Amino acid sequence: MSIRYALLGIISKKPVTGYDVVTIFKQTMIYFWSSTHSQIYKELHKMEEEELITHQLVIQGTSPNKKVYSLTDKGKKDLIRWAIEEPLKPAKIKDEFLIKTTIFPILSAEEINQLLDEVIEREQSILAKTKEWKEHFNSQGDSDIGTILTVEYGIRYSEMYLEWCKWAKQMIQDKA
Amino acid sequence: MSIRYALLGIISKKPVTGYDVVTIFKQTMIYFWSSTHSQIYKELHKMEEEELITHQLVIQGTSPNKKVYSLTDKGKKDLIRWAIEEPLKPAKIKDEFLIKTTIFPILSAEEINQLLDEVIEREQSILAKTKEWKEHFNSQGDSDIGTILTVEYGIRYSEMYLEWCKWAKQMIQDKA
DNA sequence: CGCGCCATGTAAGCAGTTACATGATTCC
DNA sequence: GGAATCATGTAACTGCTTACATGGCGCG
């Protein structure tokens, strides 16, 4: 159900198409939520049925037509109500690599090292992209406090992860 | 599908009941995965059908009978195959609080502060429990490297989160 | 006598993923 | 000519959550 409020949050900043919602979602929210265009389009339809958003059809001569969504009053009220009244659900992480970590005792040193290197590479690449996005966002002169805070979260998360990997490597070497 | 390997990992350490699997899962894996007894019992049944695990029924005179599960050879092979061959899927986080963060611009200073305090309290309580579990685990003389690494991950994650919250509070004050 | 722990399961429903499906434009 | 981007959707399936359901034991 929270995906709904993530999308309402995006639309609350400015009117956007479904396609834009997907793009913005992936740019600004992958650090703490995940979804696909498939789920997002469905949720937009549901929210429109419930009158939380409306759309205006924009006929574009040549390129495909598009629906530009904006919040209704009801939508804005519901978004704020959710933010301040709805009790916080605990955060959920699903990280396969950490499952693999639990069975390190039955893997060989090489296998463990390969896995760790793989995950370090993955995380470094994510961190680089996040920093790039932060630079891009800063250079736009945009100062949306929400975006500033969540991008920083993304960076800190990746940095913590990489530190932990480095520590884990050391730990394993010491134990061997 | 990964939940399966989390459970196989638990059972690989020593034969356990479904109830034990649930308990151990919640003690050692909540930092990076989430599930419920409902899903776990179902998955155990499926895995037994596929001959990755077997059980022995233990009749307990007075208390309810229990099924003690252990890995089959097939199960152990599949677990290791998964760990070293299956490509890593990216980690997924679902954190409602960070969705709320994105709409800070439409909330009042008090509302934001209340939300932040709430989340700080939540995270402090999680961190305290994790540290407690680490102490308990250390005092057992157990030195399972998987557990050492993942508990440390849990602690570092919570510490990062709290640091970020503190930073966010400062940031919001500076902007005001 | 009630609460928490041990112990196991099922059913209904919602959330989320993957694959299928289409098509124009722009840039190289 | 082909790839990337803009643009929108549906179908089938799997995963996950919430609620329902039961019951004995040990402790205070």
Token digits of residue B135? 């102490």
pLDDT in the model for residue B62: 65
Q: Does at least one atom of strand C sit less than 7 Å from the CB of B62?
A: no
* Digit-coded pLDDT (tens) for A72-109: 999 999 999 999 999 999 999 999 999 999 999 999 99
Residues A59, A20 within the same domain: yes
Measured from the Cβ of residue B89, the count of other Cβ atoms closer than 10 Å reads 12
Write out chain A residues lying below 8 Å of B144, CB-based: 105
List CB contacts of B91: < 8 A, sequence separation 6 or more: A93, A94, A95, A96, A97, B32
Q: Do A145 and B172 touch (CB under 8 A)?
A: yes
Residues B79 and B143 in one domain: no
pLDDT (tens digit per residue) in B137-150: 898 887 899 999 99
Tracing tokens 């709904």 back to the chain, one arrives at A4
Q: How many other CB atoms sit within 10 Å of the CB of residue A158?
A: 21
Predicted confidence at residue A61, as pLDDT, reads 66
DSSP for B45-63? Answer: HHHHHTTSEEEEEE--SSS
Question: How many structural domains is chain A composed of?
Answer: 2
First-to-last C-alpha distance (Å) of chain B: 47
Asked whether residue A147 is domain-assigned, the answer is yes
Q: Which domain holds residue B119?
A: 96-175
Nearest nt to the CA of A21 via C1' is: D7
Q: Is the pLDDT of residue B34 over 70?
A: yes
The residue out of B56, B85, B114 marking a domain boundary is: B85
Which chain B positions have a beta carbon within 8 Å of A103's beta carbon? 9, 12, 79-80, 83, 146
- Cβ of B70 near strand C (under 7 Å)? The reply is no
B6 and B43 fall within a common domain: yes
Distance CA B39, CA B1 (A): 11
B159 assigned to some structural domain: yes
- Domain boundary pick from A64, A85, A106: A85
Chain-chain contact of A9 with B172 (C-beta, under 8 angstroms): no
Average pLDDT, chain B: 95
Nucleotides of C under 7 A from a protein CB: 6-11, 14-20, 23-26
C-alpha–C-alpha distance, residues A143 and A141, integer Å: 6
Q: Is A67 found in the same domain as A122?
A: no
CB count within 10 Å of CB A45 equals 12
Same domain flag for A127 and A160: yes
Would you say residue A34 lies in a domain? yes
pLDDT of residue B85: 95
Q: C1' nearest to CA of B19: which nucleotide? A: C7
pLDDT of amino acid A152 = 98
Q: What is the pLDDT of residues A120-174, one digit of tens each?
A: 999 999 999 999 999 998 988 888 999 999 999 999 999 999 999 999 999 999 8
Within this chain, do residues B48 and B114 fall inside the same structural domain, yes or no? no
Q: For Cα atoms B151, B87, B16, give the angle at the middle one, nearest 5 degrees.
A: 45
- Give the residue nearest to nucleotide C19 (CA to C1'): A38
pLDDT at B175: 79
pLDDT digits over B90-120, tens only? 999 999 999 999 999 999 999 999 999 999 9
Mean pLDDT within A23-44: 97
The answer to whether residue A90 is domain-embedded is no
pLDDT of residue A159: 98
* pLDDT of amino acid B61: 67
User: Closest Cα to residue A83, out of A30, A6, A136, A14?
Assistant: A6
Contact B22, B37 (CB under 8 A): yes
